Structures are given as structure tokens and as C-alpha cells.
Amino acid sequence: MTALNELSLRETVARVRRREVSATEVTRAALARIAAVEPALGAFLTVCEPQALAAAAAVDRALAAGEDPGPLAGAAVALKDNICTAGIRTTAGSRMLERFVPAYDATVAARLRAAGAVLVGKCNLDEFAMGSSTENSALGVTRNPWDPERVPGGSSGGSAAAVAACECHAALGTDTGGSIRLPAGFCGVVGLKPTYGRVSRFGVIAYASSLDQVGPIARDVADAALVLAAIAGPDPRDATSAPHPLPPLDGLDGPVRGLRLGLPREYFVEGMQPAVETAVRAAVRVLEGLGAVVEPVSLPHTEHAVATYYLVATAEASSNLARYDGVRYGLRVPAASLGEMYEATRAAGFGAEVTRRIMLGTYVLSKGYYDAWYLKAQQVRTLIRRDFEAAFARCDALVTPVAPTTAFRRGERLADPLTMYLSDIFTISVNLAGLPALVLPCGVDEAGLPIGLQIVGRPFDEPTVLRTAAAYEGATDWHARRPPG
């Protein structure tokens, strides 16, 4: 018999709603799994046992009274720890916020609670979401469930590892340049970055405001769609929230025959791990076998995406992180003068990668360099978006790898930031253009590590992305494979 923590989110909710199992039993199973694997995995920074059990009991009481507790009733869900939660510490993986306890919920957290989800904990991340491996967290190390010597990807590595290890049924991450999709690919789960503005960012600790987007990580496509439906939609508290309600997602089992899929030439680069290219091209053949029409397309400005991203993102980070000065909230290191207190607080509170990005962003925004660097990057960003527009004039969606390699070894790229940044070479452009994209497993390499397939859609066309992914998933069994142990 399948353990409660190993069930899909949909099956869990169905059983809870039929009262075949209680939400409390589901929650206790998730908490027991967390207690068993966390010493070795390190996916969570905070486990919310009393709050989770109280929420589960509320779901059970609602069902007993004949009330509808919501579409996620009793499901165990985790949040990346840069998403504010009322009364539960929210650290952003940083010493700067190690003891910060918000007084309010982020919109996505409130919507999950309203949908009946049970929040079991907050997951580890690269500090302030800056990283591709979850090695930049100031508060702990997260390991890949498939191989503890490998990274889980980043910055939402804790969320992806928790889902892959069956510690929760789903989790939320944030994606600024691939931070949901890269961990999903490395951990063999499904990760969805919605269209920019589809999901509210209110209450999410900002890294780069024009790029950040919240999205679900789950063990299959339908579960990811269910979570997206719970959190998506306009929010008057977020000025960047789009006034477009999410279309119904009940047609995921529809055919893909006749769907036009583009295969970008620029996403098959020299030096790509052979197993990755083999698996992605095999996945494309599966989609062709299902009736999709695949044709090559070109995204000619892809080669400039990494440079463009790290100018735009670091400039916005420099502005957003200026608030952490020791005066208003967070860490404060006492000093003889205000200036010395600023300096001492930031030196103690920010890690090396965050400091590096703040310094770069401050430089590109400074007088004499703004036009040469930041303004030029914004112009190239427009060209990247136009590349996608041209491709989508011919295609309904694009199919690409998620990364040039599978999960790399811990410590392997820490001394070489540029090589680390190139981990996101196939995901960054999607954020610059504000598009929806989903990653799902499509194979394993010679070491048995998961390989991810990325599907990119037109703005606000998550239904086509999800339908394409569901069709591939239904024709293969990669999504059903679990890490050892």
C-alpha cells in the first residue's frame, strides 16, 4: 500500500474529501517523513508542526460539518523561505533575516491556506534567491535526494528536494532566472514558472522585481496545475499583478495532434552533456509520435541572455536590498556611528554571492555607466522578447533542455561564479521575456541523475504548456521514478 506521503496531491485530496483518511493523518505522515530524512537532506529551514496539525484539524472539522475546505484539502505543502508567513519565521536563507517573523501572509500563502492546504514548513534556498545550487544559503546545506554529493539546483533547491523526497505533496518556489525549473530538472520533479504577473508577488522577498515569479513544484503535471489554480489571479496589493484570470485547466488530457512545437537551434550548445541532448531529442520524438509537429526555430539573441540577465537582475537587487541597513528590521550590528552600523550590519548579514551581486548592480546603475550597461541590457532584453514573439508567430510552444548538464557535485562550481551562472543559460531568456515555462523529467544520465525537458509558452498560455507536458508525461514513466531511499 502506498504511504500517505507518497500519494499524488490529487489522490490525497480526493481521499481526504471522501473521509477515507483524515487530514491529520496525512499531515502526521508528512511530518514523520520530514523527521526521518531531514538530517541527511536539509530541505527545510523551519518545520511548522504545531501550525500544520492545527490546520489539518480545521480541515477535518470542516469536512465533519459538511463544509468544503477547499480544492487542496489536507495536502501537505511547503513554501520557499522567501515567502512571508504570518507568525512563522521567514529568512530568505540569510543571516540578515535569520530571526525575522512576518506579521502577515504573502498572497500566495494566504491563498494556499484558503484552498485547504496544510503548510508543513519553509524550505531552504540560496540567500535572497541568488544562486543555482542552494549552496549560497547562510543557514544550511541541501542535498539532492538522488545523490547526496550532488546539488539540488537553485535557488528553490529546498522546495524541489522536499517534493522529490516525498516530504510534501507540493511546494512553492520563486523563479527569477530559472530558480524553479533548474531544481525541478535536477531533482526529477515538475516545476512551473507562470507568466510574469500571473501570480501575485505581494509578500515575497524581492530579488529582481521585474523578473521574480512564484510557481508550483510537484511530482506530476496535474498536481502542478492544481496548485497553480489555487494561487493564480489578480491581486490589488501587487501593482505588477496582471488582470487576467487563469483559464480553466480541466483540459490537460486533450490531444496534442497538430500542435506546432519549435526546437530552438541555440539551445543545443557545444559542451552539452551528451545524455542531456539524447534525452531531450528522444522526448521530442515522443511528442511527434503523439501528433505534434516539431520544427526548428531560431532565437538569435540567446547568446546575450546571461549577460543581459546579470545586468538587469543585479541592478534591481542593488535597489531592493538597500533596505537591509540595520535600521528598520532584520539584523543590526551596533557600532559607534550610523555609517559604521550600516557597514558592519551588511558585512555580517550578507554572504559572498549576495555582496557580489549588490556590488555589480550598484556599479551598473552608477553615473557614467548607466547608459553603457543597464540601459543597453534593457534594450537587448527587448530584442530577446522579440525573438520569442517571432518564434510564436509560427509555433504554439517551444521545447528545450532545461540545463546543459545534470546535477553537478557540491562545491564543484563555487570558486567559478561564471560557470555557475551558465547553469541557467536555457532558462534565463524566459524570465527576460516574462513567459510561462514548465520543466518535467524526460530521462536519466549514465549516473542515474534526472534530466529535465522544458516547455515554453506564449504569455498567459499556461494551458497549452500544461497540456503539452501532460501529453508527454502520459506517454512515458519518467515522472513516476523516485530517488533511492
pLDDT at 250 over 90: no
Residue 200 falls in the annotated catalytic set: no
**Cα gap 98→87, rounded to integer Å:** 14
What's the mean pLDDT in 29-39? 98
The secondary structure of the chain in percent helix, strand, coil, rounded to multiples of 5, reads: 45, 15, 40
pLDDT given at position 418:
80
- Domain identity same for 466 and 325: no
Residue 155 falls in the annotated catalytic set: yes
Write the pLDDT tens digit of every residue in 57-109: 999 999 999 999 999 999 999 999 999 999 999 999 999 999 999 999 999 99
- Domain identity same for 240 and 109: yes
| Residue range of the domain that includes 325 | 303-376
Which among 8, 94, 133, 179 is annotated as catalytic?
Answer: 179
Which among 8, 22, 80, 133 is annotated as catalytic?
Answer: 80
pLDDT band at 173 (very low <50, low <70, confident <90, very high): very high
Residue 193 falls in the annotated catalytic set: no
Average pLDDT, the chain: 97
Which among 8, 132, 137, 155 is annotated as catalytic?
Answer: 155
Which CATH number belongs to the domain containing residue 157 in this structure? Answer: 3.90.1300.10
Residue 412 backbone phi and psi in degrees, to 5 = -65, -35
Residue 217 backbone phi and psi in degrees, to 5 = -125, 130
Q: Which of 268, 218, 208, 264 is CA-nearest to residue 240?
A: 208
Write the pLDDT tens digit of every residue in 279-314: 999 999 999 999 999 999 999 999 999 999 999 999
- Domain identity same for 326 and 444: no
Query: Of 376, 404, 437, which residue is a domain's last?
Result: 376
Write the pLDDT tens digit of every residue in 113-133: 999 999 999 999 999 999 999
In terms of DSSP bridges, do strands 44-47 and 118-123 run parallel, antiparallel, or are they unpaired? antiparallel
- Domain identity same for 62 and 108: yes
Contact by Cβ (8 Å): 214, 436: no
pLDDT given at position 188:
98
pLDDT given at position 61:
98
- Domain identity same for 119 and 149: yes
pLDDT given at position 368:
87
Residue 383 lies in a domain: no
pLDDT given at position 328:
86
